[in-house]
Amino acid sequence: MADLEDLLAGVIPTPACLPSQASVLALALHLLTVQDGFVVEEPLHQGSATAIRPTYAPAIVENPGVATTEWTYTYSRPGRENLMQLVVSIHAPSGRCFVHMSEHRKQSNAQILGLQLDKYVSPGCITADSWAGAMTSTDVLIQQFREHILLPLLANASRSLTPVVPKAAAASQSPSPSPAAGTAPPPPPRPWLTADQAVYLGAASVVVASTAVVVLMLFSNRSRGGR
């Protein structure tokens, strides 16, 4: 896994571009989620479909003059049926962040983690012009987030009902191509004999059989006369 500060620098030039210490942690957790294989999607809206957006989109929207205390991210995951939502919120008086990640349409699959903000994000980082030293104890943060959020969420997530069919198997199971529009289908195979030929052949067989019977009778009579 890439260094967490490198991931942050890849989407935000400096910590000073973010409005708060808590927003740094929210973005860091979002990038760890994407790094783990989740696909970023637009948040759910009533009556509308979700839309995939760039993988590392920060997804942090700040309202001017309003202190943001909660950040929400929506994802899909290959092989899983439902969308999943990550919510990071800050309790300013205690400096504690609460991480909640759940599976859409399956309320029983919800994972919660509490993180002390100052332990993982340097207090003065939002005025810095470099990500170096902005994050602390990153190994512990990654381990806690994976162990208590990502891994149990995936273990309990509903799997996709659509099987993945290998290309070779799909090709062998595909129906024969239909004739192109405007072209006649190929004629059926011709029989070995036509109906008239079959009648003539049957009549000839009867004549041959009758002739054979007459010959046998004559031969039998001559044999008796010669005894």
Query: Per-residue DSSP letters for 130-160?
Result: S-TTTB-SHHHHHHHHIIIIIHHHHHHSPBP
Q: How confident is the model at residue 109, as a pLDDT?
A: 96
Q: How confident is the model at residue 180, as a pLDDT?
A: 58
Q: How crowded is residue 148: how many other Cβ atoms within 10 Å of its Cβ?
A: 17
In DSSP terms, 112 is beta-bridged to 100
Residues of the chain with pLDDT under 50: 1, 45-59, 61, 64-65, 164-170, 199, 207-208, 213-215
Q: How far apart are CA 132 and CA 205, in angstroms?
A: 103
Q: Is 7 helix (H, G, I), strand (E, B) or coil?
A: helix
Q: How confident is the model at residue 19, as a pLDDT?
A: 86
In DSSP terms, 121 is beta-bridged to 135
pLDDT per residue as tens digits for the range 125-149: 888 999 999 999 999 999 999 999 9
pTM (2 decimals)?
A: 0.65
Q: How confident is the model at residue 11, as a pLDDT?
A: 87
Q: How confident is the model at residue 205, as a pLDDT?
A: 53
Q: How far apart are CA 114 and CA 103, in angstroms?
A: 19
Q: How confident is the model at residue 61, as a pLDDT?
A: 47
What is the rounded average pLDDT for all residues in the chain? 76
Q: How confident is the model at residue 68, as a pLDDT?
A: 79
Q: How confident is the model at residue 160, as a pLDDT?
A: 82
Q: Residue with structure tokens 């008796």?
A: 224
Q: How confident is the model at residue 88, as a pLDDT?
A: 94
Residue 118's closest CA among 137, 102, 99? Answer: 137
39 within 8 A of 75, measured Cβ to Cβ = yes
pLDDT per residue as tens digits for the range 164-193: 444 444 455 555 555 555 666 666 655 555
